[in-house]
Chains A and B, each alone.
Chain A
Amino acid sequence: MSVREMNTLEAMIDALRHEMRRDPNVIYLGEGTGERGGTYGHTLGLYQEFGKERMIDTPISELGFTGACIGAAVNGCRPIADLMFMDFAADAMSQIVNQAAKLRYMSNGQTGVPMVIWAGVGAVKSAGPHHSGCLYPWFMHVPGLKVVIPSNPADTKGLLASAIRDDDPVVFCAHKLLFPRRMPVPEGEYYVPLGRAALARQGGDVSLIATGMMVHLALEAAERLAAEGVQCEVLDLRSLVPMDVDAIVATASRTGRVLVLDEAYSPCGVGAEVAALINEHAFHQLRAPVLRMHTASVAHPFSPVFDSAIFPQLDQVIEKVRHLLRGGATSTPNRPLRPTDTAASGMPERLNAPTPEPPTPEPPSSSSIGGLGGPDPRTAVTIPNQGLTVDSARIVRWLVEVGDTVREGQALYEIETDKIVMEVEAETDGVVDEILHPADTSLPLGACVAWLTAPVPATRR
């Protein structure tokens, strides 16, 4: 099987393109997922190939279009309902839970609902309380729904293709931090079966059972712990419903020590479910209680300094593993919040995380007030910030040369990101003094690419 390097967005589009070419009944409904190509650039190019009849730009009507997907599915289509952020699924919840999930059962198997409910999940770049949710445990609780959460581009492609071909409603959790990640992805038709976990790393001492981005945290911890002589196995669940009980039991039985890592909240969550399964199926192989790490049970606070206080951190994971190796029986101060913590103290318990230093503020993007002792009196031209899921940009071409006089709002250069090609305009009048990076350079957002000096004052009459 030939492979091609892709990021997660490209892998998703690749899966959609294949399935939409293969089956004309596959349709895609979302907000800005048509001509615009999706808020994350995750449907780029599909509108151009499949047209507005199949890449349907909907009004902001999550309940309406998710419900419409149910009827369309029963009448022969295979719709994908794109909820953009999983938080927004709350607006469509009755249609998902009371109609889509139950229809096969209520109808005694006369009809199913072959549809995909696609949603971006996870915290990224301080998106705050309404755009960071990992609410998939809601869906795990509902009979009739399947739930998947890939951790890499190849699984994204394979699981999405399988979800589209599945005859039941599948909730597809796309972690937003995965979008720029790259890896070789099988070309052509590629399916990852629902319900199979993947062993991401082998090791005999401790099992880290993880989902989504937490798989990468687990791998990082495993690498660090290997240096101490501790061998961690990392199991990527990939599919939450159906859950790969055999793989969970196998790894728990091999190591006898399990830490579950998941970005959703802990109550009634992935950790609780995995721990219960291990209790039921591998209790006598355990050498320590099953432990779990989740996001603290709070709405996602906005300021970035809160991040390390609510999300599992690498050092905490490593400490948890060491704790497991010591038997793991006593509670540790850095456990995730539980409801009882709040009830007992009346306020959330502080996690034992080091108080984070506030991030060093970016230097002002424009030093136009400079010239009075600043490091550089010139005005920096930087690559503009691009929203939640874009990290870098490539300079496509320069539209000005050194020595040109430019006006505020004039296009200076063109960049390309995962999402778009756009022109970057001058923030101020000036003269191009220096261009630091030629065309075809890829740079992180915020990088300085040129300097402007103050414009030559027009001669007054």
Chain B
Amino acid sequence: MTSTSDPPIATETLLRLYEEMRLIREFETRAGKHYRAGEMPGFIHLYVGEEAVAVGVCAHLRTDDWITSTHRGHGHALAKGVPPEAVMAELWGRATGVCGGRGGSMHLYAPASGLLGTNGFVGGGIPSAVGTALAAKVRKTDQVGVAFFGDGAVNHSAFHESMNLAAAFDLPVLFVCEHNRYATATPLNTVVKEPDISKRGPGYGIPTENVDGNDVIAVYQAAERAVQRARAGEGPTFLVCHTYRTVGHHEGDPLVGTYRSRDELVEWLARCPLKLLREHLLSVNPDLADRLDGIDASLRSRITAVIEYSKSSPWPDPATALDHVYAPVQETV
């Protein structure tokens, strides 16, 4: 937990970051449990282990800033302020879900919170994030667009075309790579000649930082600089956040075995972002233990209620299956 040149972060801010991360951790852990029990349709990819990235970045975003996310996107949705009830009910396919049960885990949209989608396509949301920034520039707002994606996306044309577009037009974008080392089960270094992803930023003329993605303070500080640059009209930033998912690719996928080892997992579990922040806070002020325990307990019961709400929510009406393909017919044109 080091922060060299940056100003110290207020304890209350750090507690808020802790709370956000705990919300995601509790949400994901419990969702996984109910998924494994066969209560949810479809399949889900959990964000466990990577919470510091979404939380550290979104802490600097306003409601009217936009993010695009990935197949592993519940954490981004929550960090951007989408109510957990609406996200969880969507995972259950219920009418009270954020998309009324039409989207599900990989298609969570909440424009009112600035969430332009989790995404079933690797790299699928990156161009849209650039587009929100383009509109911000055209409309002369100071909004920022943030694209979250994994290391699996950096070999997709969507990444390259979007990085170049954003750089060429000085668009207010953050490209946030959650580098968790594996595209599903394929280690990055087996499919690239140059495994240092951060070298790609300068190639596009984009200021780039390698960030400890498990250190929420480091992410918070890097994102603060990047968002300031974006709002000041200085263009995009590329943040390569090194992190690790301490769960399988999706629920039901083995944790270790074929492509990664138990030792590697244990190493990263020791660097759990919640654990790191908790230790840091207690080292500064041991009296905070009660506050932290209180946060944990309150979020446990919060998520219990969220799950009850989701499970007991009504299903969508199948008679509405054909709604929302097109805009309501306009009589004016």
Interface residues of A (CB under 8 A from B): 25, 27, 53-54, 56, 58-59, 61, 63-77, 79, 94-95, 98-99, 102-112, 143-144, 146, 162, 165-168, 191, 193-194
Contact = CB atoms under 8 A, between A and B. Distances in A.
A411 B9 CA distance: 69
Contacts of B22: none
Contacts of B110: 110
B291 interface: no
Contacts of B158: 63-64, 67, 95
Nearest to B316: A108
Given A25-B139, A56-B169, A67-B128, A75 B327 contact: no
B161 A63 contact: yes
A98 B333 contact: no
10 closest cross-chain pairs (CB), A and B:
A67-B127, A71-B131, A64-B161, A71-B128, A107-B109, A167-B327, A75-B135, A68-B131, A108-B100, A61-B161
8 contacts: A53-B137, A71-B128, A71-B130, A75-B66, A75-B131, A95-B127, A107-B102, A109-B323
B333 A74 contact: no
Contacts of A165: 333
A168 B138 contact: no
Interface in B201-250: none
Contact of B324 (A54, A67, A99, A105): A105
Nearest to A112: B327
B168 to A, nearest CB: 7
B66 A63 contact: no
Contact of A109 (B68, B324, B330): B324
Contacts of B100: 108
Contact of B132 (A74, A143, A144): A74
B86 to A, nearest CB: 11
Contact of B131 (A70, A109, A193): A70
Given A67-B161, A68-B165, A193-B333, 17 more contacts: A25-B135, A27-B138, A63-B161, A68-B127, A68-B128, A68-B131, A70-B128, A72-B134, A74-B116, A95-B124, A103-B109, A103-B117, A108-B98, A143-B325, A144-B326, A165-B333, A168-B326
B131 A110 contact: no
B325 A105 contact: yes
Given A107-B111, A168-B326, A193-B333, A76 B135 contact: yes
Interface in B133-182: 133-139, 143, 145, 157-158, 161-162, 164-165, 168-169
Given A106-B109, A107-B111, A110-B110, A67 B135 contact: no
A95 B119 CA distance: 12
B111 A110 contact: yes
Contacts of B169: 56
Nearest to B137: A53
B99 interface: yes
B107 interface: yes
B259 interface: no
B333 A110 contact: no
Given A25-B138, A56-B169, A103-B109, A73 B326 contact: no
A189 B235 CA distance: 37
A74 B138 CA distance: 13
A67 B138 contact: no
A193 B329 CA distance: 11
A77 B138 contact: yes
A99 B98 CA distance: 18
A29 B240 CA distance: 29
A448 to B, nearest CB: 45
A314 to B, nearest CB: 36
B121 A106 contact: no
Nearest to A58: B165
A72 B103 contact: no
A273 to B, nearest CB: 17
B126 interface: yes
Given A98-B124, A111-B109, A106 B333 contact: no
B1 interface: no
Highest count of chain A CB atoms <10 Å: which of B109, B135, B168, B327: B135
A56 B131 CA distance: 12
B289 interface: no
A339 to B, nearest CB: 30
B112 interface: yes
A108 B161 contact: no
Highest count of chain A CB atoms <10 Å: which of B102, B110, B119, B125: B102
A98 B158 CA distance: 13
Contact of A64 (B112, B116, B130, B330): B130
Contact of B126 (A67, A69, A98): A67
Contacts of A105: 102, 324-325
Nearest to B162: A64
Contacts of A107: 99, 102-103, 107, 109, 111, 117, 324
B111 to A, nearest CB: 5
A77 B68 contact: no
Contacts of B111: 74, 107, 110-111
Contact of B130 (A68, A74, A98, A104): A68
B120 interface: yes
Nearest to A144: B325
A309 B107 CA distance: 47
A215 B28 CA distance: 58
A124 B137 CA distance: 38
A27 to B, nearest CB: 6
B327 A168 contact: yes
Contacts of B66: 71, 74-75
